[in-house]
Chains A and B, each alone.
Chain A
Amino acid sequence: GDSVTQMEGPVTLSEEAFLTINCTYTATGYPSLFWYVQYPGEGLQLLLKATKADDKGSNKGFEATYRKETTSFHLEKGSVQVSDSAVYFCALSGLNSGYSTLTFGKGTMLLVSP
């Protein structure tokens, strides 16, 4: 079946540091890939997406590139802020579910200090 593996946290950074959160996946065919963010006490917000190989998703300074050859979708941001502190989930929507359900990674907590 489909699966998503992302780095365990917490990831602790100082403000303005560079962020990378690794995500790799296993899926049949060509899944769509997503990053979601969850702030304390809230639901998940779609951060960015990519639907085909070599696509780059971007939003609010975050970027991720769909790498088919390495089955990866790593999240990056050049300069993090305290307000970026949250839990980040990598997810895929694949052929096995008719592209209509999401398979999530375990989540990575990001803590940014001033």
Chain B
Amino acid sequence: KAGVTQTPRYLIKTRGQQVTLSCSPISGHRSVSWYQQTPGQGLQFLFEYFSETQRNKGNFPGRFSGRQFSNSRSEMNVSTLELGDSALYLCASSPRDRFYEQYFGPGTRLTVT
């Protein structure tokens, strides 16, 4: 079974721009979560989607948003980028019967200059 895929793998943006990251979960998984990883703050939860509905949200500003499509694929968007948004963004998916068990993709490395 194919794992979680994320595109693009690397991205360089300028302050003030916006960016969209994409995640395709493992086939059959309907829950998708997003995390931000930085050297200073570690791994922080952004949001979780299940059946196209946001089920949980972390403590991030409204510039961070996401959505999930009917095929369970998910996107996250960051508007008005700041230097501090530079991070590895990780997507994870969970099986329906073990939603606490998350499988991660390789991440998208975002650099904001």
A interacts with B: yes
Which A residues are closer than 8 A to B by beta carbons? 32, 34, 36, 42-46, 49, 51, 89, 93, 97-107
Task: Assess whether B48 is interfacial by the CB under 8 Å rule.
Answer: yes
Interface of B is mostly: strand
Minimum CB–CB distance from B106 to chain A (whole Å) comes to 4
Known contacts A43-B90, A44-B90; A101/B48 CB under 8 A: yes
Bound-state CA distance A110–B21 (Å) is: 30
Identity of the chain A residue whose Cβ is nearest the Cβ of B6 in the assembled complex: A43
For residue B25, CB closer than 8 A to chain A, the reply is no
Q: Which of A44, A100, A106 contacts B99 (CB 8 A)?
A: A100
Give every chain A residue within 8 A of B101 (Cβ-Cβ). 32, 34, 46, 49
Q: B64 on the interface (CB 8 Å rule)?
A: no
Please tell me if the beta carbons of A97 and B103 are within 8 angstroms of each other in the complex.
no
Binary flags per residue of B23-55, CB closer than 8 Å to A gives 1, else 0: 000000001010100000011010010100001
Nearest B residue (CB) for A45: B104
Given the complex of chains A and B, what is the CA–CA distance between A45 and B3 in angstroms?
11
